[in-house]
């Protein structure tokens, strides 16, 4: 898609900026979240804001949206200095924000969700839905954002929900739209739709700020891009004059290998994972099965990727193979690890076969957020002879091993007493990888290994997964990120509505083909 | 540092508010404070009574703290301690000629066992049936009270007394009382309770099981993903809690009354919730706060006699105010935020 065409707004500095941040500074306790951030966004452009987790991009955007005030510095909107007390002030000034997690009331209709808090009133008390509907219809057709107004929101696809969030902003007459990681939950097709719509909005004169960590999106859909690192802006460039490598280097502050070289797999004979006819019935009688006759296998020395849009049974599949005894996780079918039928095994016994797991939701399933790093390093290994004897913990060994692992896996800061919740996303993930690789895995189940993780850590985690494969682990990789799947997988399976609907080998897979299968066609 | 300072400040705040109330009631706060202090710590006997009240509170505080670390709320210590005491008294009444030291050991084991069973039931119901332990422990308190009444009044009634109590236990069951406290019934149960606190500390912080309990309490999904069986851990945590509460029976039956008296507990099980809360669910904190609540309990008993306007109920108000100021964590973080802003 050719975005940097002539339709992009003129970047003449003589125009008044839609948004200008001057020397914005913000502390949280002793943490400096923003240190003199300068940012200039021209009206009628799509402006990318990128940076690693904790680089301060969200903080800056939240100050712009009035969620909290800056300690120092100035916010100018259309050339006028602003001092918001709350998002309400920012909204009144024409700024709107679509949060990463949508702020929608599930059972309400699309129409009511949009009106909520901005109801047009007749005689000062009755909600004038008719008038609102007409106005919204006009808005929707102007920007090509088709929506079914009367369906309960929770029954609509995520892409449509996002469209409703955008309409919500337009209805409130927002001129400047901030989108926080808008594509995290979308299929490739939905992503394309979204950006087509955003371009239309831009061409109609709206200004769009796109917070993302996906370099591909920045490259193909933005006009200009600002890079954050460690609370500061490290670069602001026209997209046409940069490339992903340069942006990644600016984000991380060193040279990053974006697409690691994955040598071809050397498969071993033994099967690592064999799943046969795995089913999970729906919770309500007659409802669609959550998993239907899933069968696949993973050999040792191989990475099998499972692609699919969030919510198509990936979570259920992982739960079923890791907790096969639990009737809430598996209703029928068998699971074998390393040739052993584990269907009746307890999870602990399965893990002790040499099964390492990078869980899907690392904060929920992977870590004890309030507990120190060392205790998190122990989780799941507490009964291994290395760390306990006759029911008593061996904290000397634990401290030693944890200190070593934190060093080897570069978990920052190197503080074993820090609660895991205080680590950044990337470092949390590295901690989990460090722990799981302690097991010398023969099977590795990696779910969303790079979700919310910065570019530098992605490179690291990808390398580690490939190394585990080359050391003989069979790897099952489940990811919503196509980059993960395409970079790492030796084979790709596609999940849709609880089934495996397609299989590709590394050589024959194409992004387009994958996208179609993921969308169910 | 803040972890220690905060409960102390909270107690001071609660005490100040409580004394403010006595002022309104028309009594000099200084006078009230003097009486409280003298009554709780004034003589060996007074201090002994404070220790006597503190002993069961250590145990019930632990009985709340252990499940709390595993993410459970045990409101059932009252029922668990009732059955523990009943079981100890029943053993002593049924086999009165048992020799020392076998006798107290048997009675103690019976108390632990009864409490453990009564704790395990809600643990099992939570783990296997998913029904909430708060509701089940409350209901089991009523059942325990009914059961204790039935056994006391129909099966083991003391024929020589008008009071609702069981037959006395054999002499071989009685445990040592310390003489220095001028007749206050401070028995071996006190060192037993302190030892229980030490063992709980070891359990929580030095054993695999304790680690697994705390993991379940922190995040059930994380524990489950790590291969820990949360259901099993819950049953164990509630069983341990029940056993700890059951030990209250040792001090009461073997160390004090020599029989089971209906209604002997001034709601030790419920005060235990406050003790655990104030002690931040840590064994050391529980022992310290049990001592405080024991002193308040003893101190307030004399207020009624020595003042004109203040009654025993003031002790309850004081306790309530302390609990309120401890639990007002929101206030603390608010103050902290203001200081930072």
Quote the pLDDT of residue B335.
66
In CATH, what number does B2-340 get?
Answer: 1.10.3470
Nearest to A354 by CA among A443, A476, A471: A443
pLDDT above 90 (res A281): no
In whole angstroms, give the CA distance from residue A426 to residue A434: 12
Q: Does B222 touch chain A (CB under 8 A)?
A: yes
The mean pLDDT value for A418-432 works out to 86
Q: Which residue of B has its CA nearest to A318?
A: B225
pLDDT band, very low/low/confident/very high, at B148 (cuts 50, 70, 90): very high
Q: What is the CA radius of gyration of chain B?
A: 21
Quote the pLDDT of residue B269.
93
The mean pLDDT value for A407-413 works out to 86
The mean pLDDT value for B96-109 works out to 91
Q: Given an 8 Å threshold on Cβ–Cβ distance, is A369 in contact with B219?
A: yes
pLDDT above 60 (res A37): yes
In whole angstroms, give the CA distance from residue A480 to residue A204: 32
Q: What region, left, alpha or beta, does residue A437 occupy, with left being phi > 0 and alpha being psi -120 to 50 degrees?
A: alpha
The mean pLDDT value for B159-165 works out to 88
H helices present in chain B, as ranges: 2-25, 29-41, 44-69, 77-94, 102-124, 133-150, 189-206, 208-218, 220-225, 230-246, 248-249, 268-278, 283-306, 313-327, 329-340
* Cβ-Cβ contacts under 8 Å for A320 (sequence gap 6 or more): A278, A280, A291, A329, A330, A333, A335
* Higher per-residue pLDDT: A298 or A281: A298
Strand intervals (E) in A42-117: 46-51, 72-77, 80-82, 95-98
Q: Which residue of A has its CA nearest to B209?
A: A391
Query: CA–CA distance from A114 to each of A28, A66, A136, A167 (Å)?
Result: 33, 21, 9, 7
- Chain A residues whose beta carbon lies within 8 Å of the beta carbon of residue B227: 346-352, 380
Quote the pLDDT of residue A5.
42
- Chain B residues whose beta carbon lies within 8 Å of the beta carbon of residue A379: 215, 222-223, 226
**Span A113-151, pLDDT tens digits:** 887 777 777 676 777 777 788 888 887 877 777 777 788
- Break chain B into its structural domains and give their ranges: 2-340
- Chain B residues whose beta carbon lies within 8 Å of the beta carbon of residue A351: 226-227
Tokens of B260: 């089971």
Which of A29, A349, A368 lies closest to B222 in CB terms?
A: A368
* Higher per-residue pLDDT: B87 or A5: B87
Site from A348, A378, A393 to mutate, B interface, most B CB atoms within 10 angstroms: A393
Cβ count within 10 A of residue A353 = 15
Quote the pLDDT of residue A3.
45
Quote the pLDDT of residue B152.
93
Quote the pLDDT of residue A367.
93
**Separation in Å, CA of A319 to nearest CA in chain B:** 9
The mean pLDDT value for A238-245 works out to 86
Q: Given an 8 Å threshold on Cβ–Cβ distance, is A348 in contact with B228?
A: yes
Predicted ipTM?
0.83
Q: Given an 8 Å threshold on Cβ–Cβ distance, is B227 in contact with A346?
A: yes
Nearest to B175 by CA among B249, B266, B267: B249
- Chain B residues whose beta carbon lies within 8 Å of the beta carbon of residue A346: 227, 229
Q: What is the dihedral of CA A311, A314, A320, A326, to 10 degrees?
A: -20
Domains of chain A: 15-94+176-255 (3.40.50.300), 101-174 (no CATH), 270-354+444-521 (3.40.50.300), 365-439 (no CATH)
Q: Given an 8 Å threshold on Cβ–Cβ distance, is B208 in contact with A350?
A: no
Q: How many CA atoms lie within 13 A of B295 on its CB side?
A: 19
Q: Which residue has the tokens 């029940």?
A: B242
Beta bridge partners of A499: A496
The mean pLDDT value for A203-220 works out to 86
> Which range has the worst mean pLDDT, A95-109, A110-124, B149-163, B321-335?
B321-335
pLDDT above 60 (res B1): no
Quote the pLDDT of residue A457.
82
Q: Is the dihedral of CA A299, A279, A308, A443 positive or negative?
A: negative
Quote the pLDDT of residue B66.
97
Cβ distance A179 to A98 under 8 Å?
yes
* Higher per-residue pLDDT: A110 or B281: B281
Q: Which residue of A has its CA nearest to B128?
A: A326
Q: Given an 8 Å threshold on Cβ–Cβ distance, is A366 in contact with B222?
A: yes
**Separation in Å, CA of A380 to nearest CA in chain B:** 4
Which of A351, A361, A379 lies closest to B215 in CB terms?
A: A379
* Cβ-Cβ contacts under 8 Å for A155 (sequence gap 6 or more): none
Cβ count within 10 A of residue A517 = 20
In whole angstroms, give the CA distance from residue A198 to residue A209: 10
Helix (DSSP H) and strand (DSSP E) numbers for chain A: 16, 24
> Which range has the worst mean pLDDT, A111-125, A465-479, B30-44, B117-131?
A111-125
Q: Which residue of B has its CA nearest to A347?
A: B227
In whole angstroms, give the CA distance from residue B265 to residue B85: 10
Q: Which residue of B has its CA nearest to A325?
A: B229
Quote the pLDDT of residue A284.
62
Which of A29, A365, A382 lies closest to B225 in CB terms?
A: A365
Q: Which residue of B has its CA nearest to A383?
A: B208
Which of A323, A351, A382 lies closest to B212 in CB terms?
A: A382
- Chain B residues whose beta carbon lies within 8 Å of the beta carbon of residue A383: 208
Q: Does B230 touch chain A (CB under 8 A)?
A: no
**Span B32-43, pLDDT tens digits:** 888 888 988 989
The mean pLDDT value for B135-160 works out to 93
pLDDT above 50 (res A1): no
> Which range has the worst mean pLDDT, A126-140, A210-224, A385-399, A477-491?
A126-140
Chain A residues bordering chain B (beta-carbon distance below 8 Å): 29, 322-323, 346-352, 357, 359, 361, 364-371, 375, 378-380, 382-383, 388, 391-393
pLDDT band, very low/low/confident/very high, at A456 (cuts 50, 70, 90): confident
Q: Does B227 touch chain A (CB under 8 A)?
A: yes
The mean pLDDT value for A316-325 works out to 92
In whole angstroms, give the CA distance from residue A309 to residue B3: 45
H helices present in A110-207, as ranges: 110-115, 129-143, 158-171, 188-203
Query: CA–CA distance from A407 to each of A411, A426, A462 (Å)?
Result: 7, 15, 18
The mean pLDDT value for A311-334 works out to 90
- Chain B residues whose beta carbon lies within 8 Å of the beta carbon of residue A391: 207-209
**DSSP secondary structure letter of residue B170:** P
Q: Given an 8 Å threshold on Cβ–Cβ distance, is B218 in contact with A370?
A: yes
Q: Given an 8 Å threshold on Cβ–Cβ distance, is B206 in contact with A393?
A: yes
pLDDT above 90 (res A30): no
Angle B51-B78-B299 from CA coordinates, rounded to 5°: 30
Q: Which residue of B has its CA nearest to A348?
A: B227
- Chain B residues whose beta carbon lies within 8 Å of the beta carbon of residue A347: 224-225, 227, 229
Q: Does B209 touch chain A (CB under 8 A)?
A: yes
Angle A9-A13-A16 from CA coordinates, rounded to 5°: 80
- Chain A residues whose beta carbon lies within 8 Å of the beta carbon of residue B219: 364-365, 367-369
Q: Given an 8 Å threshold on Cβ–Cβ distance, is B224 in contact with A350?
A: no
Task: Using the CB atoms, write b or e for B215-241: b if 16+ within 10 Å.
Answer: bbbbbbebbbbbbbbbbebbbbbbbbb
The mean pLDDT value for A22-50 works out to 85
Q: How many CA atoms lie within 13 A of A504 on its CB side?
A: 22
In whole angstroms, give the CA distance from residue A77 to residue B284: 56
- Chain A residues whose beta carbon lies within 8 Å of the beta carbon of residue B206: 392-393
**Span A151-163, pLDDT tens digits:** 888 777 777 888 8
The mean pLDDT value for A368-395 works out to 91
């Amino acid at each position: 898609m050719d975005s940097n065409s002539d339709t992009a707004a003129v970047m003449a500095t003589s125009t008044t900026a839609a948004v200008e941040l001057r020397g914005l500074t913000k502390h949280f306790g002793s943490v400096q979240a923003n240190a003199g951030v300068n940012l200039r966004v021209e009206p009628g452009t799509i402006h990318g804001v990128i940076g690693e987790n904790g680089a301060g991009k969200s903080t800056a955007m939240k100050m712009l949206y009035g969620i909290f005030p800056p300690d120092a510095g100035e916010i100018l909107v259309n050339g006028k200095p602003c001092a918001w007390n709350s998002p309400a002030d920012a909204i009144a000034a024409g700024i709107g924000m679509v949060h990463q997690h949508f702020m929608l009331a599930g059972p309400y209709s699309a129409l009511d969700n949009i009106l909520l808090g901005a109801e047009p009133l007749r005689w000062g008390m009755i909600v004038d839905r008719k008038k609102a509907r007409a106005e919204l219809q006009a808005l929707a057709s102007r920007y090509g954002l088709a929506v079914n107004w009367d369906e309960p929101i929770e029954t609509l696809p995520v892409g449509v929900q996002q469209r409703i969030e955008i309409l919500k902003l337009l209805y409130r007459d927002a001129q400047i739209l901030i989108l926080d990681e808008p594509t995290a939950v979308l299929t490739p097709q939905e992503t394309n739709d979204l950006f087509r719509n955003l371009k239309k909005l831009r061409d109609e004169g709206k200004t769009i700020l796109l917070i993302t960590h996906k370099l591909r999106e920045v490259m193909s859909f933005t006009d200009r891009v600002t890079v954050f690192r460690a609370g500061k802006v490290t670069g602001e460039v026209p997209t046409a004059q940069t490339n992903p490598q340069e942006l990644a280097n600016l984000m991380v502050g060193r040279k990053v290998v974006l697409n690691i070289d994955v040598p071809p797999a050397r498969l071993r004979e033994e099967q690592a994972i064999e799943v046969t006819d795995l089913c999970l019935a729906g919770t309500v009688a007659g409802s669609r099965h959550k998993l239907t006759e899933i069968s696949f296998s993973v050999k040792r020395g191989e990475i099998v990727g499972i692609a699919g849009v969030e919510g198509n049974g990936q979570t259920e599949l992982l739960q079923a193979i890791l907790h096969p005894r639990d009737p809430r996780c598996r209703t029928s079918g068998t699971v074998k690890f390393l040739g052993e039928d584990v269907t009746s095994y307890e999870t602990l016994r399965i893990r002790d076969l040499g099964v390492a797991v990078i869980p899907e939701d690392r904060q929920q399933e992977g870590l004890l957020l309030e507990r120190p790093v060392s205790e998190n390093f122990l989780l799941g290994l507490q009964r291994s002879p290395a760390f306990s004897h006759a029911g008593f913990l061996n904290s000397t060994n634990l401290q030693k091993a944890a200190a070593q692992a934190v060093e080897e896996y570069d978990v920052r800061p190197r503080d074993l007493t820090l609660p895991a919740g205080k680590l950044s996303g990337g470092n949390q993930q590295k901690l989990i990888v460090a722990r799981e690789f302690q097991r010398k895995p023969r099977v590795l189940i990696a779910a969303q290994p790079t979700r919310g993780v910065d570019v530098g850590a992605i490179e690291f985690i990808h390398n580690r997964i490939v190394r585990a494969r080359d050391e003989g682990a069979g790897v099952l990789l489940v990811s919503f990120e196509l980059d993960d799947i395409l970079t790492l997988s030796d084979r790709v399976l596609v999940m849709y509505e609880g089934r495996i609907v397609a299989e590709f080998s590394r050589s024959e897979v194409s992004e387009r083909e994958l996208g179609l299968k993921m969308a169910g066609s | 540092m803040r972890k220690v300072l905060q409960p102390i400040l909270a107690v001071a705040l609660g005490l100040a508010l409580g004394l403010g109330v006595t002022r309104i009631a028309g009594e000099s706060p200084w006078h009230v404070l003097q009486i409280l202090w003298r009554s709780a710590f004034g003589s060996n006997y007074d201090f002994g009574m404070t220790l006597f009240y503190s002993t069961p509170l250590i145990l019930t505080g632990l009985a709340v703290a252990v499940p709390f670390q595993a993410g459970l709320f045990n409101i059932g210590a009252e029922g668990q301690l009732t059955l523990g005491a009943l079981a100890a008294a029943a053993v002593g009444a049924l086999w009165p000629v048992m020799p020392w030291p076998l006798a107290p050991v048997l009675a103690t084991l019976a108390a632990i066992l009864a409490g453990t069973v009564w704790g395990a039931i809600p643990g099992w119901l939570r783990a296997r049936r998913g029904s909430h332990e708060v509701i089940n422990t409350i209901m089991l308190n009523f059942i325990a009270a009914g059961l204790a009444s039935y056994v006391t009044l129909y099966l083991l009634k003391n024929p020589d007394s008008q009071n609702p109590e069981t037959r006395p236990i054999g002499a071989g069951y009685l445990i040592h009382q310390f003489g220095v406290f001028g007749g206050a019934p401070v028995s071996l149960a006190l060192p037993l309770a302190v030892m229980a606190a030490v063992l709980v500390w070891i359990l929580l912080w030095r054993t695999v099981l304790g680690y697994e309990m705390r993991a379940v309490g922190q995040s059930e999904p994380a524990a489950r993903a790590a291969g820990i069986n949360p259901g099993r851990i819950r049953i164990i945590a509630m069983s341990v809690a029940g056993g700890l509460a059951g030990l209250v029976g040792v001090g009461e039956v073997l160390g004090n009354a020599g029989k089971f008296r209906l209604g002997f507990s001034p709601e030790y099980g419920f005060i235990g919730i406050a003790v655990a809360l104030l002690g931040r669910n840590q064994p050391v904190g529980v022992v310290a706060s049990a001592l405080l609540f024991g002193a308040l309990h003893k101190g307030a008993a004399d207020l009624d006699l020595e003042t004109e306007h203040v009654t025993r109920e003031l002790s309850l108000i004081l306790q309530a105010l302390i609990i309120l100021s401890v639990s007002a964590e929101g206030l603390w973080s608010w103050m902290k935020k203001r200081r930072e802003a």
